[in-house]
Amino acid sequence: MELKKNPKLELKKNSTLYFMIGLTLILLLSYVAVEWKTYYKTTDWDIASLDVQDELIEEVPLLINKLPPPPPPKIQAPPIIEVVDNDEDIIETVIESSEIDHETEIMDVEDVVFDKEEPNEVIPFAIIEAVPVFPGCENEKTNEGKRACFQEMMQKHIRKNFRYPEMAQEMGLQGRVSVMFTIQKDGSIDEVRMRGPHETLEKEAARIIDKLPKMTPGKQRGKAVKVPFSIPITFRLQ
């Protein structure tokens, strides 16, 4: 007896259609996988922060005094030799001794004039006799108390005026900016210099220092002098 196949159960009947459907699905899944994008969740608050040390340790700057150039050497003219006749009388020069003897008069101490040594115009903050006084620290009696108050008021000033630049946040910039400035003889702030990882952070540090109030100038031997001071400002992203 010969077996007959049912044409409805023929597997190869719609093979081409099934192949095209499968190929279409594979291509669609491949396209979706390639074009799929993932976005990170962002928070609504500012993630930037300022890291201010509890105690500001001053970096004492190196003071380089420029010495005047040496004077040019003096060229002495050769001595002039005069030839005189043997018959001419020669007057000999008598050189008196400069040694002190019992007849030498000695000057009194009261008559001695001493040159007053002027203090150097630039004295570092760490070694100055009378430190500059930050507004609000006038009630401190001792020099050490004024130093501690100065550092505390500097920390408050930096925290109050700190603004993390938006461009620095977008670029992920962070690091330490070393700032140096000079308290002039009249108490004003001048000669501000910065050194940091990026210009954007340096500009922010300069803006904070520009907002410093006028101070009572430092004094050395009772005379107002310039006082350089340096502090680190650390920018850190959390």
CATH code at position 169: 3.30.2420.10
- Residue 61, class by beta-carbon neighbours within 10 Å (0-12 exposed, 13-18 middle, 19+ buried)? middle
**Average pLDDT, stretch 84-97?**
62
Residue 144 lies in a domain: yes
Between these two residues, 36 and 84, which has the higher pLDDT value? 36
Give the CA distances from residue 93 to residues 89, 96, 178, in Å, rounded to whole numbers and listed in that order: 13, 10, 70
Query: What is the predicted pLDDT for the residue at 45?
Result: 43
The answer as to whether 20 is a domain residue is no
CA distance 174 to 229: 23
18-28 average pLDDT score: 87
* Within-domain flag for 80: no
Tokens of 156: 């408050």
Instruction: Please provide residue 220's backbone torsions phi and psi, each rounded to the nearest 5 degrees.
Output: -125, 115
pLDDT of residue 125: 85
Q: Give the whole-number percent of the chain exceeding pLDDT 70.
A: 66
Residue 197 included in any domain: yes
At CB < 8 A and 24+ separation, what contacts does 195-200 make?
Answer: 197/173, 198/168, 198/171, 198/173, 200/165, 200/167, 200/168, 200/171, 200/173
Which tops the pLDDT comparison, 38 or 23?
A: 23
pLDDT score for 105? 65
User: In this model, does residue 231 exceed pLDDT 50?
Assistant: yes
- pLDDT score, position 39: 63
Nearest Cα to 174, choosing from 206, 203, 197, 193?
197
Output the six-digit token pair for 97: 């001794």
1 or 101: whose pLDDT is higher?
Answer: 101
Query: Is residue 73 situated within a structural domain?
Result: no
Domain assignment of residue 146, yes or no: yes
Beta-carbon contacts of residue 99 (< 8 Å; ≥ 6 apart)? none
Q: Is residue 52 part of a domain?
A: yes
Structural domain total, the chain: 1
| Pairwise pLDDT comparison (41 vs 167), residue with the higher score | 167
Least confident of 40-54, 77-91, 114-128, 219-233: 40-54
Domain assignment present for residue 55? The answer is yes
Average pLDDT, the chain: 77
- Average pLDDT for 225-238: 87
What is the span of the domain harbouring residue 198? 47-61+119-238
pLDDT at position 57: 56
pLDDT tens for 175-201 read 888 998 999 999 898 888 888 888 889
